[in-house]
Amino acid sequence: MNIESRSPQLLASNITMTYGTQRVDLPAARPVLSGVNLRLVRGESLAIMGPSGSGKSTLLHILAGISAPTGGEMMWNGLKYAQMSDAQRTKLRRSEFGFVFQSGQLLAQLPALENVALPLMLAGVSVDQAKQQAQGLFASLGLQGLMDRRPGELSGGQAQRVAIARAMVINPSVIFADEPTGALDQHTGMEVMSLLSHVAQQNSTTLVVVTHDAHVASFCSRTVQMHDGILSDTSTGTSTATGGAQ
Ligand code: ADP
Ligand code: MG
CATH code of 113's domain: 3.40.50.300
User: Which residue range forms the structural domain that includes residue 127?
Assistant: 3-239
Q: Is 217 a member of any domain?
A: yes
> What percentage of the chain has pLDDT greater than the value 70?
91
DSSP 49: E
Give per-residue pLDDT as tens, 35-44. 999 999 999 9
| Virtual torsion, Cα 97, 102, 106, 111, nearest 10 deg | 110
Ligand nearest to the CA of 102: 2
Please report the pLDDT score of residue 246 as a whole number. Answer: 34
- Region 115-119: mean pLDDT is 97
The answer to whether residue 89 sits within a structural domain is: yes
pLDDT at 61: 97
| pLDDT tens readout for residues 127-152 | 999 999 999 999 999 999 999 999 99
**What spacing in Å lies between the alpha carbon of 219 and ligand 2's midpoint?**
19
Residue 57, Cα to own-chain centre: how many angstroms? 9
Q: What is the pLDDT of residue 241?
A: 74
In whole numbers, what is the pLDDT of the chain averaged over residues?
A: 92
| Total-model pTM | 0.92
Q: Provide, rounded to the nearest whole percent, the portion of the chain with pLDDT above 90.
A: 85
Q: What is the pLDDT of residues 221-235, one digit of tens each?
A: 999 999 999 999 866
Within-domain flag for 53:
yes
pLDDT in tens, 150-173: 999 999 999 999 999 999 999 999
User: What gap in Å lies between CA 141 and CA 162, rounded to an integer?
Assistant: 9
Instruction: Say if 246 falls within a structural domain.
Output: no
Is the model's pLDDT at 91 over the cut of 60?
A: yes
Residue 234 maps to a domain: yes
Instruction: Evaluate if residue 107 carries a pLDDT over 90.
Output: yes
Return the residue whose CA atom lies nearest to atom 23 of ligand 1. 19
Distance 12 CA to ligand 2 centre (A): 19
Please tell me the total count of domains within the chain. Answer: 1
**Number of Cα atoms under 13 Å in the Cβ half of residue 220:** 27
C-alpha neighbours within 13 Å on the C-beta side of residue 12: 25
Mutation pick for ligand 1 pocket among 56, 58, 209, 213 (CB with most ligand atoms within 8 Å): 58
Which pLDDT score, from 0 to 100, does residue 170 have? Answer: 95
| Rounded distance between C-alpha atoms, residue 201 and residue 72, angstroms | 30
Residue 170 lies in a domain: yes
In a domain, 245, yes or no: no
| 137: in domain | yes
**Residue 58 CA: which ligand 1 atom is closest?**
6
Based on the number of CB atoms within 10 Å of its own CB, is 237 exposed (0-12), middle (13-18) or buried (19 or more)? exposed
Q: Is 29 in the pocket of ligand 1 (CB under 6 A)?
A: no
